[in-house]
Copies of this chain bind each other. A is one copy, B any other.
Amino acid sequence: MTTTQLITQIKKKKSFLCIGLDVDLNKIPKHLLKEEDPIFAFNKAIIDATHHLCVAYKPNTAFYEAYGIKGWQSLEKTINYLNENHQDIYTIADAKRGDIGNTSTMYAKAFFEDLGFDSVTIAPYMGKDSVEPFLAFKDKHTILLALTSNQGAFDFQTKMVDGVELYKQVLETSKSWENSENLMYVVGATKAEFLGDIRKIIPDSFLLVPGVGAQGGNLQDVCKYGMNTNVGLLINSSRGIIYASNDEDFAEAAAKKAEELQLQMAVELGRN
């Protein structure tokens, strides 16, 4: 999916919600455990109940890898279900990969070609030649970690490098990489006060913003400081939506939570 198509979807659905499919077998409703593939059964029900309220889904690969080959099968079924039934949905593999050039190419093939995701999250520590192999894929996005939502973000990301914070160096430096128009960036909702500065460096880029809800980030603050003329935001909620109930009504409960966020987003889009 291109950036233009994503913006069209956001305007059509009045939503820039991304739902994180971080499925933990200990947290899903007990009655699903008797299904042949409980993770996929859970994802399918969540997708069926929420796809009209969001523009993107983001499975975090850790939650699938933790279940070995069965987990990868669930991930593959989930992305195939989305690509076959909801071509208007943007898909993000939250994988936080990154390696030397020839190895990054293998990861890019895995997520963009083999699995067919629209985008993948990447860690910037190894620099240009670890990211450019992902950027080389046409009509795919590479979502670079800039300022993450966790406490550990203050260990290195906000440290001053040549008079400017490391995460700003990452933003600035990455703009010069080949095919940088395919970049998006991760900025945690818990760091909304940083968004003004971030928008000075990358006014036009899309931001993937995790941390609204369970991690304490505030939707209105994120929009106030982070929204641009093309919206430029994908706000992710995972646990706050998918675990709204762990009973038979889990999918409806998730839809209700997703709708609450979507309605707030419609208000913010009205201001835009």
Contact = CB atoms under 8 A, between A and B. Distances in A.
Interface of A: 22, 24, 60, 62-63, 65-69, 71-73, 76, 94, 96-101, 103-104, 106-107, 109-110, 114-115, 123-131, 145, 148-157, 159-162, 166, 169-170, 173
B96 A123 contact: yes
B125 A150 contact: no
**This chain: copies in complex:** 2
B170 A156 contact: yes
A159 B167 CA distance: 12
Given A99-B62, A125-B124, A166-B161, A115 B148 contact: no
B68 A110 contact: yes
Q: Which residue of A109, A125, A130 has the most chain B CB atoms within 10 A of its CB atom?
A: A125
A99 B159 CA distance: 19
A68 B159 CA distance: 38
Given A65-B106, A160-B161, A161-B166, 15 more contacts: A24-B106, A60-B99, A62-B103, A62-B104, A68-B76, A68-B110, A69-B69, A69-B72, A69-B76, A96-B98, A128-B151, A129-B152, A156-B169, A159-B161, A159-B166
29 contacts: A60-B99, A60-B106, A62-B103, A62-B104, A62-B106, A65-B107, A65-B110, A65-B114, A66-B107, A66-B114, A68-B72, A68-B110, A68-B115, A71-B110, A94-B99, A100-B152, A123-B123, A124-B125, A126-B152, A126-B153, A126-B157, A127-B151, A127-B154, A128-B155, A129-B152, A131-B152, A155-B173, A156-B166, A161-B166
Contact of A103 (B22, B68, B157, B162): B22
A162 B162 contact: no
A69 B71 CA distance: 9
A63 B156 contact: no
A62 B102 CA distance: 10
A138 to B, nearest CB: 19
A129 B150 contact: yes
A62 B97 contact: yes
Contacts of A69: 69, 72-73, 76
B161 A125 contact: no
Given A62-B97, A97-B62, A125 B145 contact: yes
A125 B156 contact: yes
A268 to B, nearest CB: 25
